[in-house]
């Protein structure tokens, strides 16, 4: 293939992806994959400048507007930016800036004047261009191809965050130009997107793959009533055109826009040097998953707008700003197979086996599919090209399939009818999405149950880890949970790596666990929906495990704080003859059944401390965490303030984390929280 043909092929491929992204709102490659194709074309054109054409994707921005909307010409090009991918790229950009300043006859002396910067979040939404005349909003448009966009004024008017007239505050001492054109980004807050998108799925409507596609689709509805029903918001960050005077620096322009009433991100930062801007890049890498909107990078702008404008452009990219792109958190790959695992409560969880893909600096081979209902709802099939996402330390998950790339060879994924580990028929509880193996002697499930039983939050058995659980179940020494208390010292010494000291430490840890209170023992049994707080609540009410086992569903549900699901689960567990036999074996081993005989005094380890809870905790519900804090003498409030001592932090934390960081409030993971209580 000749260079000319290779360039033509790349242009066709990039144009196709631009069409999928900007026109159909249905991309089939990730941003990182598109960026790689774009950089490849840029490199080839740089080596062969005589082959550069005016219609190359490198010479324009975005894609053509769709036909349903009136076309709108922008007063100035609405451009995108060149990319940097690390600190070194940002510093190289500054060095290039200095070279251009020296080459051009600019009204700027780098020897006596310092280049300052403004860092802004690169929000992953839909770019909008807003026109105001005599203080009134008169026109709103999409970016389109950078020169011509689509008139979406009626849809933008439905956004509560959009100022319909400026200034918002009539008392504000700020002059409004006769004409002002502002650039912004419309987007979904993540918490509202998740609840809204779930509602669509429950109503049988097609769910959106991500907030960016949802924002684009919402603002390009022909009926503004549809847009109005969606929780969109807006940030503004640039001035495109104006009549009259505007501030000379980017930082002052943002503050000026804010004074007029435009929504401006609270996460912008002024940086005196490029080193400070690079530090912002590193900081954003850490907090990108802790804010309530999606970002795929930062934008670093020269604060002196006159200097930025004088630097001009290279191709389609202004030299006065650059995008610091983050490592991709979302890519496409092939779903090769589905592997089922079983948890300690018997839930059979489907997991995706993927064609390995690099994602956020990690090679991902496996991802969660959540549950079989979710698979059916999204119509995910083996063999599909799928979107995979990994945000921070969260386990990678399959977002959904790219249906348009199917060739007919894909296979539908059906829920199992029998446990793949023990062969027992599966159980599906009405009203629940999970599929269960209800066999307490299931070998794979037993390992998970042992791991939980011996864990810090349950019986807290020292020197008993997951590898020990696998070894002792594999050789038949442990066939059920109670066998832990009947392990034989001589048999343990025959195992490879088990010397006198190791065996004694293990057996001493097991013996010491018999002194745990009865509610810790109940917690360790792994009854569905019964964590540490619920276990203590139940035994405080019934006095012991035997009385709880005899209680009816109605009696259990009559305990304050216990709902019908918990009551039903507890009653069903105790009615199972296999569980009754297991309890008798535990009784023979000397485990505590009577709450009063082993009750602990109420801990005051958290006395005087105020907590706020945010996000989804790994094992505790919000109510359980609150009860646990209060049971240990602490206090829980709903909002972060200077009086907050700790923020208890789960996944998908939102604005509370941002506020805590600003106020210097320390955070605790659930594991750290449990250690604090036990300590």
DSSP structure class, residue 61: -
376, 400, 581 from 368: Cα distances, Å: 14, 11, 35
Contact of 416 with 424, CB cutoff 8 Å: no
Return the number of other C-beta atoms located less than 10 Å from residue 645's C-beta.
Answer: 15
On the 0-12 / 13-18 / 19+ scale of CB atoms within 10 A, 331 is buried
DSSP structure class, residue 392: T
Contacts of 489 (CB under 8 A, 6+ apart): 503, 507
CA angle 460, 670, 658 (to 5 degrees): 170
The runs of H, that is alpha helices, within 69-228 are 87-103, 153-156, 190-202, 211-219, 224-228
The runs of H, that is alpha helices, within 513-614 are 518-524, 532-542, 545-550, 553-557, 564-575, 577-589
CA angle 455, 633, 532 (to 5 degrees): 30
Return the number of other C-beta atoms located less than 10 Å from residue 425's C-beta.
Answer: 11
* Per annotation, catalytic residue among 9, 122, 325, 652: 122
On the 0-12 / 13-18 / 19+ scale of CB atoms within 10 A, 26 is middle
112, 168, 277, 330 from 117: Cα distances, Å: 16, 28, 7, 29
Instruction: At 674, give phi and psi (nearest 5°).
Output: -65, -40
Q: How does strand 610-614 pair with strand 635-636?
A: parallel
Return the number of other C-beta atoms located less than 10 Å from residue 105's C-beta.
Answer: 7
Whether 122 sits among the annotated catalytic residues: the reply is yes
Contact of 264 with 281, CB cutoff 8 Å: no
Instruction: At 292, give phi and psi (nearest 5°).
Output: -95, 25
542-554 exposure pattern, b = at least 16 Cβ within 10 A, e = fewer: bbbbebbbebeee
- Distance of alpha carbon 660 from alpha carbon 647, whole angstroms: 7
Closest C-alpha among 280, 234, 276 to residue 257: 234
Residue carrying structure tokens 């261009």: 129
Distance of CA 226 to the CA centre of its chain: 26
Return the number of other C-beta atoms located less than 10 Å from residue 639's C-beta.
Answer: 9
Partners of 71 in the β-ladder? 150
What residues are annotated to the active site?
Answer: 122
């Amino acid at each position: 293939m000749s260079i000319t043909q290779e360039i033509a092929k790349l242009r066709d491929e990039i144009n196709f992806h631009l069409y999928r992204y900007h026109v159909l709102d249905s991309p089939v490659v990730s941003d990182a994959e598109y960026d790689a194709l774009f950089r490849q074309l840029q490199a080839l054109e740089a080596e062969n400048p005589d082959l550069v054409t005016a219609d190359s994707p490198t010479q324009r921005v975005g894609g053509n507007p769709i036909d349903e909307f009136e076309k709108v010409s922008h007063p100035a090009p609405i451009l995108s930016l060149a990319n940097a991918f690390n600190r070194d790229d940002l510093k190289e950009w500054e060095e290039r800036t200095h070279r251009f300043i020296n080459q051009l006859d600019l009204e700027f002396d780098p020897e006596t004047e310092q280049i300052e910067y403004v860092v802004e979040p690169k929000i992953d939404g839909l770019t909008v261009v807003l026109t105001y005349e005599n203080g009134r909003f008169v026109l709103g448009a999409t970016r389109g191809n950078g020169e011509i966009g689509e008139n979406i004024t009626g849809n933008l008017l439905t956004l509560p965050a959009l100022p319909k007239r400026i200034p918002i505050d009539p008392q504000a001492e700020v002059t409004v130009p006769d004409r002002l054109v502002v650039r912004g980004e419309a987007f979904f807050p993540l918490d509202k997107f998740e609840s809204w998108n779930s509602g669509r799925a429950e109503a049988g409507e097609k769910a959106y793959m991500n907030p960016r596609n949802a924002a684009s689709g919402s603002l390009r509805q022909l009926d503004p009533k549809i847009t109005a029903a969606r929780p969109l918001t807006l940030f503004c960050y640039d001035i495109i055109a104006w009549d009259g005077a505007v501030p000379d620096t980017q930082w002052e322009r943002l503050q000026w826009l804010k004074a007029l009433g435009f929504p401006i991100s609270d996460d912008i930062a002024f940086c005196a040097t490029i080193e400070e801007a690079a530090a912002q890049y590193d900081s954003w890498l850490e907090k990108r998953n802790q804010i309530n909107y999606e970002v795929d990078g930062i934008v670093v702008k020269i604060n002196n707008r006159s200097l930025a404008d004088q630097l001009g452009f290279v191709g389609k990219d202004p030299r006065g700003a650059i995008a610091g792109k983050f490592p991709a958190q979302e890519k496409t790959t092939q779903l090769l197979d589905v592997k089922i695992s079983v948890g300690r409560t018997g839930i059979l969880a489907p997991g995706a086996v993927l064609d390995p893909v690099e994602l956020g600096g990690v090679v991902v081979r496996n991802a969660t599919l959540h549950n079989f209902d979710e698979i059916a709802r999204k119509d995910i099939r083996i063999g599909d090209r799928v979107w995979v996402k990994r945000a921070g330390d969260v386990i990678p998950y399959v977002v959904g399939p790219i249906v348009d790339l199917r060739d007919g060879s894909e296979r539908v994924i059906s829920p199992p009818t029998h446990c793949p580990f023990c062969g027992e028929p599966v159980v599906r509880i009405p009203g629940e999405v999970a599929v269960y193996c209800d066999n307490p002697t299931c070998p794979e499930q037993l390992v998970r149950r042992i791991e939980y039983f011996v864990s810090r939050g349950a019986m807290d058995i020292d020197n008993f880890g997951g590898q020990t659980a696998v070894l002792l179940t594999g050789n038949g020494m442990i066939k059920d949970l109670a066998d832990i208390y009947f392990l034989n010292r001589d048999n343990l010494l025959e195992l490879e790596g088990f010397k006198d000291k190791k065996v004694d430490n293990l057996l001493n840890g097991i013996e010491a666990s018999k002194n745990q209170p009865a509610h810790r023992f109940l917690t360790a049994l792994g009854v569905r929906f019964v964590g540490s707080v619920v276990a203590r609540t139940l035994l405080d009410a019934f006095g012991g495990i035997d009385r709880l086992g005899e209680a009816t569903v109605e009696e259990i549900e009559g305990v304050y704080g216990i709902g019908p699901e918990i009551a039903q689960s507890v009653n069903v567990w105790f009615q199972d003859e296999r569980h009754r036999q297991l309890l008798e074996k535990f009784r023979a081993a000397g485990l505590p059944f009577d709450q009063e005989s082993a009750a602990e005094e109420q801990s005051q380890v958290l006395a005087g401390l105020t907590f706020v809870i945010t996000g989804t905790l790994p094992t505790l519900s919000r109510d359980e965490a609150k009860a646990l804090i209060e049971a240990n003498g602490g206090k829980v409030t709903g909002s972060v303030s200077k009086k907050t001592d700790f923020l208890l932090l789960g996944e998908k934390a939102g604005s509370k984390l941002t506020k805590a960081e600003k106020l210097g409030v320390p955070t605790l993971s659930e594991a750290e929280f449990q250690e604090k209580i036990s300590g």
